[in-house]
Structure formats: structure tokens, C-alpha cells
């Protein structure tokens, strides 16, 4: 039995309503832990005063420089003593999840036992970088909790100016849209950078994210310094049985308004079967006895919309791989940046392919470590120096897929033009 | 003299192999799935090339879970779902079952314990959110509470698939926006420059770092009351709060003047149009715990208008692109103020350089 609860009239109102309540969960924990009784006291104070009361500090585990988020209370009385002394320290352990966030119940139950013993009993699945967040432990217990979690085969994630914990989608484990082995890429890449995860020494954070198709369920283009997004080069695959089944359940209006009209490049056409073309870059499939879909794949940008709506009837091609985009991040400091294409397509089938992906990540991080200003993200660095300088340093050839349009201003010195053209021609000749 | 304490060295194992955590049918059919459909909201049925089928039942959680709740979910997984679960990026939990006959009993059990089943297809899924007052060192508001209050109202749409397209929401307790881009995002927007405690700056803050963090170069070193400190050119300051994390004595959070803004039209998927950033459409909403009624009403209003007006498969951004921003503000009744015209770098790209005007 824990000590008496503080009054929490504000938080009590978050126990009403049908959505699962974190307050009810905290109150359950508070029945046995003075720690959580006082946590509720401090949180209720925040709800009353509209102020936060945690400050950072330096807490870690032996051997690592990061992965713990230290929190010390700043809610003190006139004598400088914590008002809620039992939760004066409330540190979080960031722990890296398995790719795709799969668990068996035995593992989750062990997490619970460890965190009930050493921590508050509050666990978040998951934080915004993908970590399992074990929230709330005293300075003394952080090491004990980590030792037990680490013995289970789990390791701390990133914090501060480090390579951060990554996320990958459910992918090949359950999704038919998967264009590469996301889990393998995630694990192979991240486990190459364990030193940069555990010992923060980069100019600022660096995030990898892995999505298996252009639906980008991991939001990698907006939230990662290096986004690996699955795609394919050959034709969209078709299945006549499933296409006819889809059409039987829907209507011509839906096919026209929801798919034909929504194709971003208008390459998805509805035709009478007798008019359907054939050719090496055309996908076609009958949807009824009279009508068929025809897709000219050379005009298709692999947006996924038709495949999403007619799953099974249409599917990504078989020559699969990924597009790599670099430099995504949110506002601070120079404004939002999307990741932009640095590698239009790379295969990720073999161990050698994976090694190339790791090598690309390694070279980008090395360049970032050498050239970024303090607290500057990769995208901001590229904005400052220009994409071409970045590409040349990484020995990546320019590709027209890297731009939306060629430049719209003449502010460029082009006296190397002839040389560049000669190089391109020589390469073409060598390839022929 | 005591012997030095032997510290345990960490086992630097990194990301664990997920193979042993996969549901057996997922391990067996890895990379060999053919298609999926949704028998009902909250349930996905995936069919493998082998003919195997797996049903995934998705349920909402509070994300910040006590061990009792997690054990309850484990009990349900052991009883109905062969002891395996996974989590989605939006903190929903998924139970996988290999028999269709297990779907309904599992749903009944989840609902009985208060876990709503849904979040699939064209529904409003769980809100992607942050730590807030519970754990963050720089929060302007709470996260879990805002989410709980809003999801209580949106749970009906979580359990249905009746929106034009999927709806992703996020909340963030400062302008760093850890909640991320979304169809609708709720983000703290400070409206006053930081209040500086000059007694503490010299001891707590690395002043050149703080000066360098300011996006508009509004901070400069100064001597105040004989102590080295920092001062702000308040005519330049746009109240972003970037100086506060490296220098806590520059308090940006204010119970009254830290407001909430609403942003719409963020989309990370490449489906149809290219990915888009969200745009600010409202600000000045009060930070009003414990249930933030003004923010809830504003978000629900936008969702209601979107649901009524958008065509099938139009995400928030697609819908607004079709009807245009003037009609968006007209239909939602939101005021278009001068603060919504961008003046940051690259802002001319957001101006209307055409005579394309809908009358």
C-alpha cells in the first residue's frame, strides 16, 4: 500500500469518456507506489498552473553516453526542497524495438516485471522516434533496470547529437506492398552505427527510417535525415480474377472517379477490351467482359493510389528496391524540409546490396560529422552548401530524378559545361 | 581500502532480430503476401501466396500504459492471438489470429476491457503525440491529456471507416513538433518573447550556443545588473522558443500567452500528389486543461466539414486543393488573418502567382 493520494480534480476529469485513460493507469500504479502518487501530484500541479516542472541533467548507464532522458523536478518549496519528493527524479530509458514493433507476450511481461521492480511501471509503446520508453526511474535504479533489459537482448536507443533509434513498417512480415526486406535493412544499417547511437558526438541528431513502399507508413520523407522508401522499376502486376472481383463489388462510377481521375499522371486508363494496347511497358487487366484497365508504366510515378484502392488486382512490380531521400526534418531552425532524392533506385535483394546501403549511410554520416555546423541537421547543411557539393563529396552522380525542375535562374557559372557534357557522352559510349 | 565496484559492461546488441517475435504465420509467409481486404473496421485480412490467411485486429491504447494494462493486453493475446502482438506507428496494438472464428471473440474481449477496435482504412486513427507535462523539459502543454480528451470525442470515427480517406492527427507541446506532420496537427504557438531570468543565464547557458540557435538573430550577449546575460531584440523575435531548450532561464512558456494553433493538410504518403507539409489555419486558441474544449471544437469542426464535403479518397490536402483555400476558410468559418501569409524564406512560392481565383 502506498501513501495517501493527492487530490487531482483536473486529472480526474481525464478518467471520463470511452478512450483508454492514462490517468486511470497511473492511479492503478499509485496504489502501490509512492513514486506515482507524487507523480500524479506534480502532474496535477501542471494542469493547474499550465507549467512544466522537469529539467534535464546528466544521468547515464556505464559504458554509454546517451539513451537515458534525465528528469529532475523543479517544483520546489521555499526551502528549495521538492514539493513531491518521491518523484524528484523521473528518468526515461529509451530502448530500441525490434523492426516492425513485433513482440511476444513473454517479452512484454518481462518488461513489465522489470519496470515494476525498478521503475514507475509506466511504459510507452512507442515514442516518436520509435523507442520503447520506460518512463520514470530514480538515478539509482536506471542502471539496474538497464542491466535487466539489456540481458533480455534489448539495447538503448539514441538521444542528443547521435544516430537515433529507427523505425520500419510491418513490411514483408505482413504487407503485400513491401518492396524490400525492411526489417533486415533497418537492423543491418542501425547496428552498423551502434557507436554513434550510444556515444553522441555528431553535430546534431541523425535519423534513418525505413518504409517498404511509397505509402511511406513510417513518415520517413518528413522525419528522417535518410529515408529508405521501397519502389519498383518494372510494370505494375495485375490479377484478372481479383480485378473482376473488385469491379463486381464496386461500380464504373467508382472506377472512373476514384481511380482514373485520381491518377496523378493520367496514365491509368479505362478502355474497351478491343482497344487495349500491348507492349513491354504496358500493364492491362480486364475488369469485366467488355472493359479493361490499361497502364503505360513509363508514365507511372509509383504513387500507390490505384494499388491501394484495388489491392490484389494491382500490385507493385517484381524488379523491386528502394529510393533513398536525404535531409527531411521539421521546422527549427531554418524551416521544414522534405527529404529529397539522392539515389533514385537501388536494389536491396542481396547482402552486397545491403552493404551498399550501409556504405551510403556511412559516407553521409561521415560527411555530416565533418561539415555540418553545431546543431545543424543534414537537410540544413545541404541547403547551405547546395546539393551538387554534397553529391560531389559523396561521389554520387547527378540525376534528373533529383529535381522537380531544372534551375529557374541564371546565377550559375557554367564554364565547365563542355567538360561535363564530354563526361556524360563518354559514359554513354562506355555503357553502349 | 575497498575493492573497486565491478560495473557491468553493456552488451552492445543494437536492434534485436524481429524474427523470433513474429506471429508464426507471418514468419512462414515473410515477403510472400498477395493481397488484403478489410472484413470490418478494425480488422485486416491478409492472404498469402501460399493460401494462408491471417486476421489482424487493431485496437486503440493510451500509449502511456501502466504494467496492469500491458499485462491485460498480454492475457488477451495469450487467450486469443497465439501470444503475439505488434504496435503501429500511431500506438495502436494489433493482435494476429490464424482462424476467422477467433476474430469476433477477440473483438468482444477487447471491447469488454475498454480497448476500442478500429483505426483501419478510412477512419480517424489514434493521435500521434508527445510527452508534455508528464515528462518533457520544455512543454507548453500536456500531450496525453489533450489526446485523451480529443479521442473521447473522435472514438466513433475511430471505430468506423466513413471518412473520405484516412485521417492522421498529431499534437505537439512546442514548435519542435515532435508529434509530426498530419492531416490536422495541434501545436503550441507562443505569442510573447521569452522572459529572461538574468541571475541564472551566466551559470546555466552556453551563451554563444544560444545566440546561434535563434533563427532571426534576435539574441545578443549583454551585461545585465553587472552579470553576463543575454538580451532579446523583441521587434525581431517571432516567439518560436528555439532558445529555451539550450537556455532554460529564457522561459518561453506562459500560462496565458502560450496558445494553440491548428495546422492542416500534411501528408507523407506519395499516393496521388507528392507529400505535402501542413499549413497553419488557426491560432490563438487557449491552452485550457484538463480537456481543451476550444481546441476540440475547432478540430471537430474541420473534420465535420471535410467529411461532408470531400469526395471519396481525397485526403485533407487533396480536398483543399480541389475546393481552394478561400472555400476552405469559408466552409470552416475560420478567419483568414494576416498571420497566415508566410514571410519566412522561400515564402513567395506560397503566394498566388496567377489569376486562378475561384469566385
ipTM metric: 0.96
Q: Among residues of chain B, what percentage have pLDDT more than 70?
A: 99
Residue A191: closest C-alpha in chain B? B14
Strand residue runs (E) in B203-343: 219-224, 227-232, 250-251, 258-264, 279-285
Chain A residues within an 8 Å CB radius of B24: none
So what's the pLDDT on residue A335? 86
CA A139 centroid distance within chain: 30
Give B3's pLDDT tier (boundaries 50, 70, 90): low
Residues of chain A with confidence (pLDDT) below 50: none
pLDDT computed for residue B163 by the predictor: 98
pLDDT digits (tens, 9 = 90+) for B98-128: 999 999 999 999 999 999 999 999 999 999 9
| Residues in chain B closer than 8 A to A403 (CB atoms) | none
* DSSP label of A260: G
Cβ–Cβ of A301/B270 closer than 8 Å?
yes
Q: Are B56 and B87 in contact (CB under 8 A)?
A: no
- Residue B4's pLDDT band, with cuts at 50, 70 and 90, is confident
**B127-138 pLDDT, tens digit each:** 999 999 999 999
Query: CB of A99 within 8 A of CB of A72?
Result: no
- CA A289 to chain centroid: 43
Angle, helices A105-118 vs A139-151, to 10°: value is 160
**Residue bearing cell 551563451:** B207
Residue that is written with C-alpha cell 473534420 in the block: B303
Listed residue (A222, A52, A195, A40) closest to A122, CA to CA: A40
CA distance A87 to B13: 31
In sign, the C-alpha dihedral spanning B266, B271, B273, B274 is positive
Q: How far is B224 from chain A (nearest CA, A)?
A: 24
Distance from the first to the final alpha carbon of chain B: 87
Q: What is the pLDDT of residue A332?
A: 84
**What does the alpha-carbon distance between residue A18 and residue B112 come to, in Å, rounded to a whole number?**
12
- Residue B336, pLDDT above cutoff 60: yes
Note whether B135 contacts A: Cβ–Cβ < 8 A: yes
State the Cα–Cα distance between residues B6 and A242, nearest whole angstrom: 64
How distant, in Å, are the alpha carbons of A71, A95, A119, B244 from that of A55?
Answer: 5, 21, 19, 12
Q: Which of B13, B15, B197 to mutate to test the interface with A (most CBs of A within 10 A)?
A: B15
Task: Report the pLDDT averaged over residues B248-259.
Answer: 96
Give the C-alpha separation, B133 to B203, whole Å.
25
Residues 66 through 105 of chain B touching chain A, CB cutoff 8 Å: 66-71, 73-74, 77-78, 83-89, 91, 93, 96
Closest of B91, B93, B125 to residue B106, by C-alpha: B93
Residue spans of alpha helices (H) in chain B: 24-28, 67-80, 103-112, 144-158, 198-204, 207-213, 293-309, 316-323, 325-332
- Establish, for the pair of chains A and B, how many residue pairs have beta carbons separated by less than 8 Å: 353
Cα dihedral B246→B251→B256→B258 (10° resolution) = -20
Dist. CA B131–CA B138, nearest whole Å: 10
| Stretch B206-227: mean pLDDT | 95
Return the pLDDT at B10.
97
Looking at residue A432, its pLDDT comes to 85
Smallest CA–CA distance, residue A70 to chain B, in Å, is 9
DSSP secondary structure string, A309-352?
A: HTBTTEE--SSEEEEEEE--B-STTT--B--EEEEEEE--SSHH
Across the strands, what pairs with A54?
A73
Q: How many CA atoms lie within 13 A of B330 on its CB side?
A: 9
Task: Give me the pLDDT at residue B97, please.
Answer: 97
- C-beta of residue B250 within 8 angstroms of C-beta of residue B230: yes
| Pairing label, strands A237-238, A226-232 | unpaired
Residue range B283-324, pLDDT digits in tens: 999 999 999 999 999 999 999 999 999 999 999 999 999 999
Cell numbers for A170, please give them: 510491418
Cα B192 to chain centroid distance, Å, stands at: 25
Q: Are B27 and B98 in contact (CB under 8 A)?
A: no
Q: Is the pLDDT of residue B1 over 90?
A: no
Amino acid at each position: 500500500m502506498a501513501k495517501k493520494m493527492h487530490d487531482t480534480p483536473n486529472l480526474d476529469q481525464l478518467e471520463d469518456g470511452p478512450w483508454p485513460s492514462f490517468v486511470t493507469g497511473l492511479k492503478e500504479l499509485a496504489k502501490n507506489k509512492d513514486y506515482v502518487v507524487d507523480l500524479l501530484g506534480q502532474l496535477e500541479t501542471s494542469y493547474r498552473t499550465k507549467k512544466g516542472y522537469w529539467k534535464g541533467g546528466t544521468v547515464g548507464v556505464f559504458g554509454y553516453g546517451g539513451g537515458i532522458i534525465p528528469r529532475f523536478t523543479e517544483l520546489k518549496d521555499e526551502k528549495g526542497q521538492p514539493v513531491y519528493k518521491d518523484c524528484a527524479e523521473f528518468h526515461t530509458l529509451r530502448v530500441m524495438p525490434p523492426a516492425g514493433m513485433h513482440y511476444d507476450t513473454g517479452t512484454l511481461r518481462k518488461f513489465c516485471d522489470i519496470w515494476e521492480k525498478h521503475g514507475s511501471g509506466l511504459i510507452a509503446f512507442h515514442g516518436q522516434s520509435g523507442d520503447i520508453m520506460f518512463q520514470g526511474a530514480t538515478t539509482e535504479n536506471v542502471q539496474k533496470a538497464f542491466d535487466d533489459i539489456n540481458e533480455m537482448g534489448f539495447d538503448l536507443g539514441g538521444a542528443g547529437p547521435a544516430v537515433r533509434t529507427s523505425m520500419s513498417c510491418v513490411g514483408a512480415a505482413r504487407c503485400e506492398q513491401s518492396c524490400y526486406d525492411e526489417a533486415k535493412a533497418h537492423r543491418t544499417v542501425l547496428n552498423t552505427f551502434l557507436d554513434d547511437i550510444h556515444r553522441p558526438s555528431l553535430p546534431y541528431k541523425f535519423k534513418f527510417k525505413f518504409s517498404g513502399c511509397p505509402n511511406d507508413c513510417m513518415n520517413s520523407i518528413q522525419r528522417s535525415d535518410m529515408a529508405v522508401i521501397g519502389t519498383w522499376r518494372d510494370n505494375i502486376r495485375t490479377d484478372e480474377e481479383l480485378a473482376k472481383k473488385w469491379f463486381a463489388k464496386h461500380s464504373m462510377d467508382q472506377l472512373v472517379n476514384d481511380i482514373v481521375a485520381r491518377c496523378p499522371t493520367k496514365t491509368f486508363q479505362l478502355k474497351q477490351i478491343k482497344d487495349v494496347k500491348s507492349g513491354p511497358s504496358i500493364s492491362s487487366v480486364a475488369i469485366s467482359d467488355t472493359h479493361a484497365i490499361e497502364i503505360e508504366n513509363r508514365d507511372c510515378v509509383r504513387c500507390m493510389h490505384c494499388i491501394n484502392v484495388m489491392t490484389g488486382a494491382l500490385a507493385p512490380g517484381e524488379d523491386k528496391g528502394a529510393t533513398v531521400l536525404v535531409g527531411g526534418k521539421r521546422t527549427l531552425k531554418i524551416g521544414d524540409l522534405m527529404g529529397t532524392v539522392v539515389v533514385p533506385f537501388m536494389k536491396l535483394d542481396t547482402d552486397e546490396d545491403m552493404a551498399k546501403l550501409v556504405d551510403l549511410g556511412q559516407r553521409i554520416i561521415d560527411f555530416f560529422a565533418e561539415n555540418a555546423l553545431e546543431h545543424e541537421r543534414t537537410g540544413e547543411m545541404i541547403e547551405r552548401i547546395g546539393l551538387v557539393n554534397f553529391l560531389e563529396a559523396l561521389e554520387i552522380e547527378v540525376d534528373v530524378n533529383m529535381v522537380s525542375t531544372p534551375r529557374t535562374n541564371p546565377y550559375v557559372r557554367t564554364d565547365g559545361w563542355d567538360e561535363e557534357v564530354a563526361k556524360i557522352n563518354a559514359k554513354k559510349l562506355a555503357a553502349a | 581500502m575497498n575493492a573497486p565496484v565491478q560495473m557491468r559492461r553493456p552488451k552492445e546488441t543494437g536492434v534485436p532480430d524481429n524474427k523470433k517475435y513474429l506471429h508464426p504465420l507471418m514468419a512462414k509467409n515473410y515477403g510472400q503476401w498477395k493481397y488484403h481486404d478489410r472484413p470490418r473496421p478494425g480488422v485486416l485480412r491478409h492472404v498469402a501466396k501460399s493460401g494462408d490467411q491471417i486476421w489482424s485486429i487493431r485496437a486503440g491504447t493510451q500509449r502511456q500504459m501502466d504494467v496492469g494494462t500491458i499485462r491485460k493486453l498480454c492475457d488477451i493475446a495469450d487467450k486469443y492471438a497465439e501470444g503475439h502482438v505488434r504496435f503501429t506507428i500511431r500506438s495502436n496494438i494489433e493482435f494476429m489470429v490464424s482462424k476467422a472464428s477467433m476474430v469476433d471473440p477477440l473483438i468482444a474481449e477487447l471491447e469488454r476491457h475498454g480497448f476500442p477496435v478500429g483505426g483501419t482504412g478510412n477512419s480517424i486513427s489514434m493521435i500521434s503525440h508527445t510527452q508534455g507535462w508528464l515528462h518533457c523539459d520544455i512543454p507548453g502543454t500536456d500531450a496525453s491529456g489533450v489526446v485523451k480528451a480529443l479521442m473521447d470525442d473522435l472514438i466513433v470515427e475511430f471505430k468506423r471507416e466513413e471518412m473520405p480517406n484516412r485521417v492522421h492527427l498529431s499534437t505537439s507541446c512546442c514548435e519542435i513538433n515532435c508529434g509530426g506532420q498530419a492531416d490536422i496537427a495541434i501545436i503550441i504557438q507562443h505569442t510573447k518573447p521569452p522572459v529572461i531570468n538574468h541571475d541564472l543565464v551566466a551559470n546555466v547557458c552556453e551563451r554563444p550556443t544560444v545566440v546561434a540557435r535563434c533563427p532571426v538573430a534576435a539574441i545578443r550577449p549583454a551585461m545585465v545588473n553587472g552579470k553576463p546575460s543575454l538580451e532579446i531584440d523583441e521587434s525581431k523575435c517571432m516567439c518560436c522558443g528555439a532558445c529555451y531548450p539550450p537556455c532554460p532561464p529564457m522561459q518561453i512558456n506562459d500560462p496565458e500567452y502560450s496558445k494553440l494553433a491548428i495546422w492542416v493538410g500534411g501528408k507523407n504518403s506519395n499516393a496521388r500528389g507528392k507529400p505535402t507539409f501542413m499549413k497553419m489555419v488557426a491560432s490563438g486558441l487557449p491552452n485550457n486543461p484538463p480537456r481543451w474544449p476550444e481546441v476540440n471544437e475547432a478540430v471537430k469542426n474541420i473534420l465535420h466539414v471535410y467529411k461532408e464535403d470531400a469526395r471519396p479518397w481525397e485526403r485533407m490536402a487533396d480536398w483543399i486543393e480541389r475546393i481552394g483555400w478561400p472555400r476552405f476558410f469559408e466552409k470552416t468559418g475560420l478567419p483568414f488573418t494576416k498571420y497566415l501569409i508566410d514571410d519566412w524564406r522561400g515564402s513567395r512560392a506560397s503566394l498566388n502567382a496567377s489569376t486562378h481565383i475561384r469566385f
